[in-house]
Structure 1
């Protein structure tokens, strides 16, 4: 049975405030990409441009939150482990160009395997506890946001960024840079949604942690 704290509302006012902040943050990301086009012509949508760096920062922030939830608050350790492994792998994947140039070609694939395989194995061994935690997490707003971010980043952006799609639109005016720009900006939106999901998870985990402490003091 889910922890009561996991389903208790934090207040309509607080929710609306967070929704407003998420809305403003999303707008700021879009504006950042626009300013990148205007004022960073050399770096635009490169590894050192605003969009790529923002994606990295969003993933680092999401991973940091998950580490705190798992190691400090100790809430849903198996679910957070799998989420952390997935987002860490995504973070490594975003650095593929840097790793190929300065470490070794395809080094990112090795690092991703080092992160993903032990995590999946651990979750598989403890699959019953993972299933119980996932059943609770599936009832939360955080998972809804994460799912939206996942679909945006790993499904829609890939299909939207297909070369054939943009060739059909632009025909003889096709430029690969435009296709890449569109895909990267959609990914930025997806990663933003994933970070919002982790913030919601953090707030929920804090309520569960406090409820657990209060029960222990009785």
Structure 2
């Protein structure tokens, strides 16, 4: 039987500081995309441009944080496994150009299957534990941020970046770069929200971990 959740409060000062850092980070990636468009005309919004490389860096950082939460702090192992599988699959998918170019076509699909299938199978086996963990995780700020990041990246950016939308907006002035910029930058924003969500999860997991280390009163 699982223990009741410990006290997980964070004060206003800490929350404000994180909010400022998140705003600065979003400002930095927006400025990076602007500089990419300004100074990298041949590479902008391609696999070698700032935006795509930033997406890879953000997803890789998320994966490392989830590994730390799961294997070092040992908090919510089934939830973090599922999150890791989802983000690692996205990371592999972002490398599809390089995998197709330098290894073989559809390599990324095989790698994603190798990540997703065992992870989902393990979560199904441990489904009761997963539901118990998710009951707590779903009521956290981290979950809200993660949901927002997923909706931004996998729903809004796909719809916003449709060619037919930009063809309708720009009409005879349509150039594919507009579509690529809209989709890739919005996608990076969504990944950034997932990064914030993963960081919030790590900080929450650390508070839970430290609480568990406290001696229990008899």
TM-score (normalizing by structure 1) = 0.96
SS at match of 1:4: coil
Output the aligned Cα RMSD.
1.2
Cα deviation for residue 163 of structure 1 reads 1.1
Residue aligning to 2:115: 115
Cα deviation for residue 30 of structure 1 reads 0.3
SS at match of 1:139: coil
Aligned residues: 216
Which contiguous aligned blocks of 4+ residues in structure 1 show a shift greater than 4 angstroms? none
Residue aligning to 1:181: 181
Q: Deviations over 1:123-182 (max 9, x none)?
A: 011111000000000110000000000000000000001111111111121112210111
Cα deviation for residue 194 of structure 1 reads 0.3
- Name structure 1 gaps, 5 residues minimum: none
Distance 1:215-1:28 versus aligned 2 partners, 3 A rule: same
Residue aligning to 1:18: 18
Question: 2: distance between equivalents of 1:56 and 1:217?
Answer: 46
Cα deviation for residue 215 of structure 1 reads 3.5
SS at match of 1:182: helix
Cα pair 1:78 1:129 within 8 Å, conserved: yes
Higher relative contact order (CA 8 A, sep 6+): 1
Residue aligning to 1:3: 5
Question: 1: distance between equivalents of 2:110 and 2:17?
Answer: 42
Question: 1: distance between equivalents of 2:184 and 2:215?
Answer: 46
Residue aligning to 1:205: 205
Write out aligned runs for 1:120-135 (5 A): 120-135=120-135
Cα deviation for residue 213 of structure 1 reads 0.9
Residue aligning to 1:154: 154
Cα pair 1:2 1:136 within 8 Å, conserved: no
Question: 2: distance between equivalents of 1:217 and 1:104?
Answer: 59
